Amino acid sequence: MIDVNAHVLLIYTGGTIGMIENLETGALEPFNFTHLRSNVPEMKRLNFHVDTFIFDPLIDSSEISPDKWREMVKVVKDHYSQYDGFVILHGTDTMSYTASALSFMFDNLTKPIILTGSQLPIGKLRTDGKENLITALEIAADKDVDGRPVVPEVCIYFQNLLLRGNRTTKINAENFNAFKSANFMELAEAGVNIVYNTSKILKPNYTKEVAFYESLDDSIAVLKIFPGITPEVLTAVLNIHDIKAVVLETYGSGNALSDDWFLAELQRAVDRDIVIVNVTQCLHGTVQMHRYETGQNLLKAGVISGYDLTTEAAIAKLMFLFGLNKLPNQVRELMQVSLRGEMDTDEA
């Protein structure tokens, strides 16, 4: 139920939702918040309080970086006690990366952080931005019968679905249903009513404080294997100066080529204490390294399973764990445990 005394902070970082067309170049460019707000007069009719925090400069989300994630954490941290929930307006291109990173940067989160945006600018007649924005604000203000936030998680709300942020991937550059949580059910669906899957929502410990983490280590690489990958490509990536971890995107249930050069190079990297995490290129399903001989070979070389982690969440989790100065062995261990509901380690 909406708490009429609720205060929500709307953090505007940029993205298509607030963009307008540059008449000279035809390109969409970020525009100011007054433009955005004047296109959503419905916001005045919300029966709770909404304040705004605007990033300067506003950015296209393809320019997002760990520095921007730190800025977002800082804004939430500085305003945490004053607000009941937070909505972050963000471009869709990297929204899943941001949602994944933020999910790790708050521990024992006791308030909702809902990311949303749109595929069409808010000034367009057919925009999807209005519904996304209004419903995200309502979810951020929603309380249960005990007066606690219904969804104290980092989520993405987009086209009627509320998804756990670190389970999402952008799957569509055209349609309004831009995001998918392929391996975890939605936390809510907004129809005539907003129906929550309460049993799936993380429950914080309200007697404990939330912890904010601003340090991330970006000594990470992603390597997508493909038929025809050469030793030069693999060697180049695994020998990047100061690299600490590689997210290895493999086929199907975690399979890759079994050529000696491939396995030996991976083994050498593991011996140098580089953490190699196996995630699947498939949208649905999980890595099962025991299932095929090719997967077992990776396991023998010291590659660890990322189970059903998305690439976005794997990157964010590695940056977070190395940001905590964990040793490679501790990182390997923690990569196999769900910290924020980001993975299911059951291979079945």
Query: Which of the residues are catalytic?
Result: 16
The answer to whether 119 contacts ligand ASP (rule: CB under 6 A) is: yes
Long-range Cβ contacts of 34-41 (<8 Å, 24+ apart): 35/122, 35/123, 36/12, 36/89, 36/122, 39/122, 39/123, 39/127, 39/130, 40/122, 40/129, 40/130, 40/133, 40/134
Among 25, 34, 62, 325, binds ligand ASP (CB under 6 A): 62
Contacts of 333 (CB under 8 A, 6+ apart): none
Strand segments (E) across 140-228: 154-158, 161-164, 169-170, 179-180, 188-190, 194-196, 211-212, 220-224
- Of the candidate spans 13-21, 34-42, 45-53, 190-198, the one that interacts with ligand ASP by CB under 6 A turns out to be 13-21
Q: Nearest CA to 153 among 135, 166, 144? A: 166
Please identify the residue of the shown chain whose CB is closest to the bound ligand ASP: 91
- 58 or 298, CB closer to ligand ASP? 58
Among 55, 58, 60, 156, binds ligand ASP (CB under 6 A): 60
Among 16, 96, 127, 169, binds ligand ASP (CB under 6 A): 16
- 172 or 329, CB closer to ligand ASP? 172
Among 66, 85, 112, 117, binds ligand ASP (CB under 6 A): 117
Residues in 180-239 at the binding interface with ligand ASP, rule: CB under 6 A: none
- Of the candidate spans 57-65, 72-80, 311-319, 340-348, the one that interacts with ligand ASP by CB under 6 A turns out to be 57-65
The answer to whether 91 contacts ligand ASP (rule: CB under 6 A) is: yes
Torsion sign across C-alpha atoms 298, 304, 305, 311: negative
CB of 176 to ligand ASP, least distance (A): 11
CB of 156 to ligand ASP, least distance (A): 12
Neighbour tally for 33: CB within 10 Å: 16
Residues in the chain: 348
Residues that bind ligand ASP (CB under 6 A): 14-16, 60-62, 91-93, 117, 119
